Amino acid sequence: MREILGKRRRLLSRRNDGRRELISAALTFASEWQWPVLPGVTADPQGRCGCPDPECTVPGAHPFDPGLLAATTDERMVRWWWANRPTAPIVLATGGTAPCAVSLPVPAAARALDALDRNGMRLGPVVASRTRWALLVRPYSMEQLGELLYAKDFVPGSLRFHGEGGYIALPPSATGQGDITWERAPLPGSASPWVPDVEAVVDAVVEALTRTGVSAPEL
């Protein structure tokens, strides 16, 4: 009986640590970095999304209730959300004053990061899921993005841009497709992390996708 109680205490301790880590991260993003966040839909133990869509392609990694427009930097609201939904993933509303992101499948993303490193280009945080990495970049407009992509001969379909009206899940969220982690973690400190311009990364990202032959959309 003592052994069973000991295991239960350890499991509860790990669970509570994870919940504290989530709310701590959410508060850092919102109140210290001024990134608008909101709780995402929680997936069940089988990886099924808690939203009404039985064929959801991003289980536990998207907003639903509240919707994306509810994203905020208000500390009291963030505390209330995660006090009531302590295991909810952290969703960043991209664009506006918050970072945007460029995401691509993991193999091509690794090639792109290698290319950027070889060129001595400074990178900001990189968010990793099981299938895709997202490079955080400075906010950009749709006009700016359109001009940038128009100059390219070919833009692979698996390249995704998360700008105004978009979102990504942030670490240390748990989703139906696995944990969200940092491939390149922000440097420690209270200031909002530095991120590059979108133009600085698109060339290497498009080349990496073209060289790996990835053209069809991937999750």
Give the C-alpha separation, 106 to 35, whole Å: 25
48: its two tokens: 């099924």
Per-position DSSP letters for 59-107, written without gaps between them: TTSS--SS-GGG-B--HHHHHHHHHHSTTPPEEEE-STTS-EEEEEEHH
pLDDT at 217: 38
Q: Is residue 129 part of a domain?
A: yes
Q: Is residue 219 part of a domain?
A: no
How many structural domains does the chain have?
Answer: 1
pLDDT at 218: 40
Q: Is residue 164 part of a domain?
A: yes
Helix (H) or strand (E) holding 10: helix 2-27
90 near 39, Cβ under 8 Å? yes
- Domain interval for residue 160: 2-212
Q: Side by side, which strands form the sheet with 167-170? A: 37-39, 90-93, 167-170
Give the C-alpha separation, 16 to 22, whole Å: 10
Q: Is residue 218 part of a domain?
A: no
pLDDT at 10: 43
Q: Is residue 99 part of a domain?
A: yes
Give the C-alpha separation, 22 to 82, whole Å: 8
Over the chain (219 residues), the average pLDDT of each successive run of 10 is 51 55 95 96 90 90 93 97 95 95 92 86 93 95 88 84 95 94 88 90 79 47
Q: Is residue 217 part of a domain?
A: no
pLDDT at 17: 59
Give the C-alpha separation, 38 to 68, whole Å: 7
Note the pTM of the prediction, 2 decimals.
Answer: 0.86
Q: Is residue 167 part of a domain?
A: yes
